[in-house]
Structure 1
Amino acid sequence: MTADIAICNMALTALGHETIAAPHERTKAAGLCRLHYHGARRELLEAHHWAFATGAADLALVHGVAETATARALGYAFAFMRPADCLKARRLTDDAPFEPAGRLILCNVDKARLIYTRDLTESAVFPAAFTRALSFLLASLLAVPLMQSQKLERSMLEKYLSLVEAARETDADQGAPAGEPSVAWIEARR
């Protein structure tokens, strides 16, 4: 059983529903898990600067006319390509101001290194506290369409909010930065 299915089954059992064996099953539960799982995963990854999902990359300068025009129109001198796995841009290592613009990162420095949250899809690498919080977020999304219960939805959402706070504390206890990571911390991970 994959870790994604395990997380879906954690959500389903929290709701008091039968589990699924595979995401491609032709059941309502499997279909709803397929519909909501990746959105919930991305939502939770964006909610905090998780140590396990932090990435850093030197950005590639973009010289295209449209990209340069976009940068100038928004008051920036340079446009860089956002890393393909970048879910949320956090900061530039030199703390220069920047602005995400679609697949671009706009700033006023000619060389930029971005600290960002990676769009991790391999759920086997998620810490246990993150996985548990994700399962309750998913359960809150499944409660109404699967169980026809707004009360259950609220209950699952409350549990999620409690668990995500605990997951953040656990993440901080493991050396994750309270705010933004230092460059040395990021470099040590490479």
Structure 2
Amino acid sequence: MTETDLCNMALSHIGEGLITSLDDDNETARICNQYYHHARRLVLSQYMWGFARRVEPLANIQVETYTGGYRHTYLYPEHALRIYRIIQDTEIRNGLYTSYSVKDIPNYEVFNLDSSTKAIGTNMTRAYVDYVVDVNDPDIFPPIFIEALTRFLAASLAQSLVGNMEMYRSQFQIYQGALLEAKNIVSSERQFDLELPVGYIESRRAT
């Protein structure tokens, strides 16, 4: 699977001719090249795709600029597209953290320290970050992500290449359906511990 293959899938969704390369010297290839990476990053950031998630420690830095009054400042992950959670390291070490067990998002903010440096301000020490990384290798894209990406790209191409708003709406609706299907797939692959009411537990102990 290549980037050209994905663009050709999007083109076929809207009935347009295929390209041999994103470097082709024609309007279709140029527009595909213009939209592909933006579409990929946007679709990645729209959902908690398992293949694109990373959980890792943040790098603590010392700064002289004001960062909202937070006690600690960390470097923003270089290839992050979206942060889901900032996590205290004790949750990681004790095995307490899952993406669905955290009820409250800890307080943090993202700052631009200068024109090229992003940072995260938080009161947590030894913080970890759960985030989506900018994955650009089509060979590791799962089928449902490919469906979502090519449908979103098809919607963009329908608007810019064809100028057909009805086709745009149709493809965008299919894209939204792919996101919903992704959520259903992830939900079916997770096992939640059943939390029984205290009264139920006590009554069972009494019998």
In the superposition, the TM-score normalised over structure 2's length comes to 0.77
Larger CA Rg, structure 1 vs 2: 2
Question: Which structure 2 residues correspond to residues 158-173 of structure 1 after superposition, within 5 A?
Answer: 158-173=173-188
**1:20 match:** 19
Residue 108 of structure 1 and its aligned partner are, at CA, apart by 0.6
Q: 1:101 aligned to 2:111?
A: yes
**So what's the TM-score if we normalise by structure 1?**
0.83
Residue 136 of structure 1 pairs with residue 151 of structure 2: yes
Check if 1:83 corresponds to 2:77: yes
**Cα distance in structure 2, aligned partners of 1:41 and 1:113:** 25
**1:78 Cα deviation from its structure 2 partner:** 1.4
The 3-state SS of whatever aligns with 1:56 is strand
Q: Given residue 78 of structure 1, which amino acid in structure 2 is its aligned partner?
A: H
What do you get for the CA RMSD once the two structures are aligned? 1.8
How far does the alpha carbon of each residue in 1:94-146 deviate from its partner, in whole angstroms, 9 at most, with x for none? 36321222421110123111111111111211110110111010000010221
Mapping for residues 1-190 of structure 1, pairs under 5 Å:
2-66=1-65, 69=66, 71=67, 74-94=68-88, 96-102=106-112, 103-175=118-190
Say if 2:39 and 2:152, in contact at 8 Å, map to a contact too.
yes
Asked whether the equivalents of residues 22 and 33 of structure 2 are also in contact (C-alpha less than 8 Å), the reply is yes
- Residue 53 of structure 2 contacts residue 130 of structure 2 at CA under 8 Å; is this kept in 1? yes
| C-alpha separation in 1, matches of 2:142 and 2:70 | 38
Runs of at least 5 residues in structure 2 that lack an aligned partner in the other structure: 89-104, 113-117, 193-207
Shift of 1:175: 3.9
How far apart are the structure 2 equivalents of 1:110 and 1:161? 38
Letter of the 1:79 partner, please give it: T
Q: In 2, distance between residues paired with 1:148 and 1:96?
A: 44
What is the identity percentage for the equivalent residue pairs of Structure 1 and Structure 2? Answer: 26
Higher helix proportion (structure 1 or 2): 1
Distance 1:176 1:118 in 2: 25
Report the Cα distance in structure 2 between the residues aligned to 1:6 and 1:164, rounded to whole angstroms: 21
Point out where structure 1 has 5 or more consecutive residues left out of the alignment. Answer: 178-190
CA 1:175–1:29 in 2, change beyond 3 Å: closer, same or farther?
Answer: farther
